[in-house]
Amino acid sequence: MRAMPADLPIRFENVTVSAGAVTVLDRLSLAICPGPPTVLIGPNGSGKTTLQRVAMGLVPASAGRVTWDGVADVPPTRRAIVFQRPVMLRRSVAANIRYALKAAHIAKDRHDARLAELLSLVGLDSMASRPARRLSGGEQQRLALARALARDPSVLFLDEPTASLDPASTKAIEDIVRAVATRGVKVVMATHDLGEARRLAGDIVFLHRGRIVEASDALAFFASPQTAEARMFLAGELLL
């Protein structure tokens, strides 16, 4: 188990994010602490993606404060994110990972070793020299994961990584996430798939219309949801 990771806890204090007239996050307060994976669930447009982007440091808060281990404006050197639709560089799989290693300022002499580790972790060893754009959806997600892990992050954000994948690819991704979480990386994942939430979550954060409706330990949440919206959502009803 690694030592207390930097950048954590990530604290949201009454954070509001507006895009024009639309309020995407509404006076949201949250603490992301070290520990098992935190899974964000909620209907489309509830703010899951925006929350992750703000926590990553890509989007500034319109109001409120975000701090990383008590400090505001920390550059994202120890954080990484896998976007819902990751963009591959027009080069080989290995070159993509090397690019991420270089961007993370990993020492040159360690590149080859890290590359081999990462390829092995995500199961893309046999495709190292294939052009990244020719990979399947699942393979591209795994490559994006490898890129994100290249910088040895303390927090890893995943935005619906298995949304368009088949079950086999989904399992592959979930296995990697589990392995990574076990190594001490704090995983924050947004998902549509309640089954996946059950499989991976330590904590659940349930969002609706830019607010946290309920946040608790996963087992407790699924066993007995406290709020009406949560009950409706778990029952499969549309929340408006």
Partner 1 sequence: MLDWTLQEFPVSLPVMQPDASALQLVLTGDPTLLAIVRLSLFVSLSAVALAALIGIPFGAFIALTRFRGREGVIVLLNTLMGLPPVVAGLAVFLLLSRSGPLGSLGLLFTPSAMVVVQTILVTPIIAALARQTIEDLWAEYRDELTAMNVSPLTRVLTLIWEGRFSLVVALLAGFGRAAAEVGAIIIVGGNIDGFTRTMTTAIALETSKGDLPLAIGLGMVLIAIVVLINAFAWLLRRAGERLAR
Note whether 156 and 148 are within 8 A (CB). yes
Residue in 160, 140, 156 with CA at minimum distance from that of residue 148 = 156
Q: How would you classify residue 57: left for phi > 0, otherwise alpha for psi between -120 and 50, otherwise beta?
A: left
68 binds partner 1 (CB under 8 A): no
Note whether 133 and 123 are within 8 A (CB). no
Of 139 and 203, nearer to partner 1 (C-beta) is 139
Choices 78-86, 112-120, 174-182, 200-208; region in contact with partner 1 by CB under 8 A: 78-86
Note whether 190 and 49 are within 8 A (CB). yes
Of 80 and 204, nearer to partner 1 (C-beta) is 80
Residue in 16, 40, 13 with CA at minimum distance from that of residue 213 = 40
Residues 115-154, one symbol each (x = binds partner 1 by CB under 8 A, - = not), give: --------------xxx---------------x---x---
Across the beta sheet with 38-41, the strand order is 79-82, 155-159, 186-190, 38-41, 203-208, 211-217
95 binds partner 1 (CB under 8 A): yes
18 binds partner 1 (CB under 8 A): no
Choices 38-46, 94-102, 208-216, 217-225; region in contact with partner 1 by CB under 8 A: 94-102
Residue of the chain from 86, 161, 210, 225 that contacts partner 1 (CB under 8 A): 86
19 binds partner 1 (CB under 8 A): no
How far apart CA 223 and CA 75 sit, in angstroms, is 38
Of 96 and 191, nearer to partner 1 (C-beta) is 96
Residue of the chain from 83, 206, 221, 233 that contacts partner 1 (CB under 8 A): 83
Using CB under 8 A as the binding rule, the residues of this chain from 179 to 238 that contact partner 1 are none
87 binds partner 1 (CB under 8 A): yes
Which residues is 82 bridged to in the sheet? 158
Q: How many residues bind partner 1 (CB under 8 A)?
A: 24
Q: Is 153 helix (H, G, I), strand (E, B) or coil?
A: coil
Note whether 97 and 115 are within 8 A (CB). yes
What is residue 133's DSSP assignment? G
Residue in 21, 28, 81, 22 with CA at minimum distance from that of residue 53 = 81
103 binds partner 1 (CB under 8 A): yes
80 binds partner 1 (CB under 8 A): yes
Of 126 and 129, nearer to partner 1 (C-beta) is 129
For residue 40, give both structure tokens. 């964000």
Choices 40-48, 63-71, 87-95, 190-198; region in contact with partner 1 by CB under 8 A: 87-95
